[in-house]
Structure 1
Amino acid sequence: MSVVSESISRRVTLGYIASHYGFELEPSFSDGVTVTSIADSTDSVRPGALYVLRSGADPSTLSVAVARGAYAVLVPPSLVSEAQSAGVPALLATADPETMGALASDIAGTPANTMAVFVVCGDDDEEVQADVVRLADFLHMLGNPVGIISCAGSSSLERELEMTYPLGILDVQHTLAVCSEDGAAAMVISADNETLRSGAMEGVSVDVLGSIETLNTAQSAAMLESTRSRYGFTIDERKRLVTCDEESSWLVGQTAAAGGIQGQRRLSLAIAMALDAGVRRSNIRNALRVSKEMQ
């Protein structure tokens, strides 16, 4: 996919991008040109796009992108002549992942800010993906429309999303924007190597980070930092890695939850993460009671 599309983006001018992110614009008088999407693969280019030439990509793709409707390109300064030959305005910069994440989020309308963003991490990718499903189900049980990013199945509310994994920066921003537009109140993301590329969550602010692993304080802090560093998201420095605790385990024990010990641990993590997000204990108890009655 590798695109932030027009349907969920805001229109921005090249002049704004150049001044806000410190890029050089060539020619300078094209500052009023408006772009409506951003893409880093030619297949994803739509009319009005800003085409970003990936590191190591063939410069000949610039002309392909323009033929498909790109209004402008973003290339390293060393490729200014190739950009000029493509016949559209060029933003000149060697953008780092942090800048690309901020730019993609900007064009998408900062969708992460419209939802509570939950991220699950851990040492076992399959377990992380299973924890994501359980958390999403629990948040839905609490009455939240939920979006999911996971190679085990991404979705926006009840709608499945077709994705090619692992996802990059633009893919993540696109999916967040789609889910925001659909009305999702919460987003659950699987931070695993099958789902996300390194740096894929640049430009995303995370509200709750959790793991089912049994960790001491130092190990929890190390996992939080390694996950943040690998995937590039931001999180409040006062936040800790959420794991199963006595309170969440006690609440699970009151439900006679099905699924065996591992199923109970997954529910315990979901409860702990919901509590960390500020969900009231009474709401959690009510949801668990309703769930038990429906079994």
Structure 2
Amino acid sequence: MKKVLLGMAALAFFAASCTDKSDVVTPDPPKTEEWYLTGIVVRDIDNSGGISADKDSMTITYNTDKTFSTLEEITGENAAYYALVKLVYNQQKITKVTLQESKTGAAETIYECTYSGDQLIRFFEPGFAATSYDSLVYENNKVVKVFQVRADKRNNKSWEYTWQNNNVTEVREFEANPVTYKLELASIEKYTYNTVANPYKPLANFLLLKGDNPDIPLLSANEQTSYTVANAQNVVSHIYSYTRSVNDKGLTVADTMWHKTPAESTAKADYISAYKYTDLNK
């Protein structure tokens, strides 16, 4: 009897050991959704409110580390315009930007980049690093100035940015005096925002590299609701605003940009944009 009891005890211990070690399965925690903007289609709206058949279609891709990779743009009837912009990285720093202007054409380098630490401070066409370039100035890891320097000094420009709560609220643009080449204030833009996360934020690396007309306000943390354009005397000439629709995840899937002058009582729709997203954590 003693041997039987000992045998039963051993069997019970073995069964318990098996249950503890192999039968208990801990499920993996569910992945957090991370939606990235991957498609934009823009159509103009005419004075009668009709939507143009022509469209500006953009497809965006990302690298495995979720950095911006490419933007393919096809515009106009019968795809009259084509461009494929690609960012090339080395250890998550952009080294150059290439442009392919037809689906079968070869990609050409349009910009090379210079860094200070982890910050992009200059980009330029190959061979023109000293004579024709765009440079960026930072404060508290935010772009506060952009200088456009060109061989023809009449084309020099600069922009100054005011930030509040991680959003650009004011942009001052300076243009070269055609006689003295001195940079003079030309326009003032002021922006307002909602509390929704800016869907363009994942495109930050691309937006930093916009020559001639920087899109630094699109680096803001939140989504724009309106902006005004004024002259150097701060007299407003144009007022722009947005109306939007969102999906069940709170993502903006369409917006309409409205425009009016201070003399007009009613705004007119200029264009409508539709957006697509992909969950990069899938």
TM-score, normalised relative to structure 2: 0.24
Looking at CA atoms only, which structure, 1 or 2, has the larger radius of gyration? 2
TM-score, normalised relative to structure 1: 0.23
Task: Please identify which structure carries the higher strand content.
Answer: 2
